[in-house]
Structure 1
Amino acid sequence: MTPETFALALSDRLARYRAEVASPDEYLSLLAWQIGAGHRLDLRETMPGHVTTSAIIVSPDHRQVLLIDHITIGRWLQPGGHYEPAPAFALSAEREAVEETGVTGLALHPWHREGDLPFVIDSHDVPGKAARQEPPHVHHDLQYLFTADPGTPLVAQLDEVHATRWAPIAALTDFAPKAAHRLAQLT
């Protein structure tokens, strides 16, 4: 996506997400304001926030979730990272997941109906990084749901993650409660 098509696509995904998916207690006003103000949300330098994409990867039976032990944040999370140009936001999330975990056979979950509508949009505070002269800011994380076979080998990208592992699906509630709740409604 070009910066112009990125902005249009993000605006469209946010509008559709609010109309079709979001619950009344989801607050996305900062993201909407930044889009309306013309902020370059595809750039990690944009403050007070910018777009990230992540992959909630579950086993086909929805009993397990693939996690990474994130070096910078120091906790187990879903794979993901800053948006990197791709024809669709889901493809940016998929690329991050494959890079960080080495997972193979990743498939966009049928919930998406082969579309690019996020499963969850989670705007959350993140600490800054002094080494990059980066202040605390907000990640507008577009989360996509994928499936993969937990029996396939994993290879952690050790410059970004300490380890990867499959965990019981209940682990999602610790760091992605909206995704956990939405996933529970599917089963």
Structure 2
Amino acid sequence: MRTAMSFLARLDSTVSRYLAEVAGPRERLALLRWQISERHILDRRETMPGHVTTSAFVLSPDHAQVLLIDHVVIGRWLQPGGHYEPAASFHDSALREAVEETGVAAAVLHSWHRDGDLPFAIDSHEVPGNPRRSEPPHIHHDLQYLFIADPALPLIAQEEEVHAAAWKPIAALAEIAPVAFARLRTVGVPG
């Protein structure tokens, strides 16, 4: 239980800081904050009605492209990410997912983060159930981080979860992740 408590304390601090420093006026994260206050074990995928995931917006150095995956279960293009796995920081968990799913090499945390663990965006969203895992539809509280990588380096899609990994125009994020896409203006990406 000690690990769960330290995870919750770290998550609580991260979410509070995000709400104070980054979030827009309509971002309240009510369910996530309630689950934290109720001491739900949010680093376990079995926790319902939701649990923590991490994901990576991997941008090209000129911010013109973003690395996306064609997700097997969800059936559409998304940023790489997945269920939280223990890591020194939340952004380390996000980067591990990006590397596992795409094989992206030499990705570095974007300077927006100032070498900290403050999420670029937190997106609590519904996901379909996964019958293979006996999971009902539920909520992913996704801590999202920005990274930079060279789009000329080869990619290797993780075939169990990903049909393909590819660099797409940054505008593809408008539909996939509207909050993060709008926030990209703060790092010099035209909206």
Distance between the aligned counterparts of 1:131 and 1:151, measured in 2? 36
User: Partner of 1:157 in structure 2?
Assistant: 158
Per-residue deviation, 1:132: 1.5
**CA distance in structure 1 between the partners assigned to 2:7 and 2:108 by the alignment:** 23
Q: Which residue number corresponds to residue 73 of structure 1?
A: 74
Q: Cα offset for 1:158? A: 0.5
* Equivalent in the alignment of 1:40: 41
Three-state SS of the structure 2 residue aligned to 1:171 is helix
Residues 1:125 and 2:123 are matched in the alignment: no
Q: Distance in 2 between matches of 1:5 and 1:32?
A: 16
What does residue range 89-128 of structure 1 map to in structure 2 within 5 Å?
Answer: 89-128=90-129
Deviation at 1:41, TM superposition (A): 0.1
Query: Aligned letter for 1:128?
Result: G
Q: Distance in 2 between matches of 1:90 and 1:17?
A: 14
Once the two structures are TM-superposed, the CA of residue 168 in structure 1 deviates from its matched residue by 0.4
- Matched position secondary structure for 2:88: coil
Q: Which amino acid aligns with 2:95?
A: E
Amino acid at match of 1:85: P
1:26 match: secondary structure: coil
Distance 1:78 1:7 in 2: 25
1:56 aligned partner, one-letter code: F
Counterpart for residue 16 of structure 1: 17
Retained in 1: the 8 A contact 2:110–2:146? yes
List per-residue Cα deviations over 1:127-146 (Å, max 9, x = no partner).
11122111110000000000
Matched with 1:168 is: 169
1:2 deviates by: 2.2
RMSD, matched Cα: 0.9
Conservation of the 8 A alpha-carbon contact between 2:101 and 2:161: yes
1:3 deviates by: 1.4
Please name the residue that 1:139 is paired with: 140
TM normalised by structure 2 equals 0.96
TM-score, scaled to structure 1? 0.98
Write the distance in 2 (CA, Å) between the matches of 1:169 and 1:118. 19
Paired residue type of 1:20: E
CA distance in structure 2 between the aligned counterparts of 1:63 and 1:157, rounded to whole angstroms: 24
How many pairs align? 187
Give unmatched runs, 5+ long, in structure 1. none
Q: For 1:36 and 1:27, locate their aligned partners in 2 and report how far apart those are by CA, in whole Å.
A: 14
